[in-house]
Amino acid sequence: MTEERLTHVRADGSAHMVDVTEKRSTSRRARATARLVTRPEVIELIFAGELPKGDALPVARVAGIMGAKRTPEIIPLCHPLPLGKIEVDFHREESAVRIEAAVKTLGVTGVEMEALTAATTAALSLYDTVKAVDRHASIEDVRVLAKSGGKSGDWEVGEEGR
Catalytic residues: 128
Output the CA angle 56-120-154, nearest 5 degrees. Answer: 125
* Residues across the chain: 162
